[in-house]
Amino acid sequence: MPEIRRDTLPDLTDEQIINEVKSGNNEYFSEIVRRFNQRLYRIAISYGIYDDDCEEVIQRAYIAAYEKLQQFRGEAKFSTWLIRILINECLMLKRTKKRKSELFESDDVTISCGNHLNPESEYMDEERKNILETAVKQLPDKYRTVFILKEIEGMSIEEASGILAISKVNVKVRLHRAKSMLKNILEGITDVSTLFTFGNERCDRINESVMNYIRNKNK
């Protein structure tokens, strides 16, 4: 297999990298892992998967995606296809462990934000960030997922609608409800992009684990 030119990777689309992997250049899959770790981590959290379970479910998603890679035909964006695999893994993990949701369903959660969230904002200090992360985790599933996809990951209404298989109107309604429930905590905060960050150490650990699986499989 030809050596990967790391300096060219940023110029390649996800689909070009996947085509390299399909052609037998498996080491390119490492770039996929590094590109999507942060997004998959946040989406796993949006489904109520926390702590070490996050790493487990993300690794399962990457391995499942690699195993099914020849099934990816490009009808949807690769990112959408990968996220759907992750969501299935999250749901399977929750069923297997029979974990009860730790979310607060009460309508008394008075956590208003401004009219919109602007990514160009002031620095969010660590204490306020932790308070907001805790509040987001306490949102009911359907509201938390939409809030993370739209406001933290920056997806469009249309993209979130396609991933969750719900209407765009439904996405907007859930997003509005999530913001209402986070009302008091979000006041004065215009940047939520730093919430639920995935550290380099965890990123490296997942990358190594997934790539070791792929290398061993292809010995």
User: What would the 3-class secondary structure string for 86-151 be?
Assistant: HHHHHHHHHHHHCCCCCCCCCCCCCCCCCCCCCCCCCCCCHHHHHHHHHHHHCCCHHHHHHHHHHH
Tokens (6 digits) for 100: 């009860």
Task: Using the predicted structure, report yes or no on whether residue 203 has a pLDDT greater than 60.
Answer: yes
Note the pLDDT of residue 162.
Answer: 93
Q: What is the pLDDT of residues 165-189, one digit of tens each?
A: 999 999 999 999 999 999 878 776 7
Tokens (6 digits) for 79: 């990112």
Residue ranges of domains in the chain: 10-100+198-217
What is the average pLDDT across 104-125?
A: 40
Query: What span, in angstroms and rounded, lies between the C-alpha atoms of 146 and 180?
Result: 13
C-alpha of 95 from chain center? 20
What is the average pLDDT across 98-125?
A: 42
Task: Using the predicted structure, report yes or no on whether residue 122 has a pLDDT greater than 90.
Answer: no
Provide the CATH number for the domain formed by 10-100+198-217 in this structure.
1.10.1740.10
Q: What is the pLDDT of residues 12-27, one digit of tens each?
A: 999 999 999 999 999 9
pTM of the predicted model as reported, rounded to 2 decimal places: 0.80
Query: What span, in angstroms and rounded, lies between the C-alpha atoms of 154 and 39?
Result: 10
Task: Using the predicted structure, report yes or no on whether residue 100 has a pLDDT greater than 70.
Answer: no
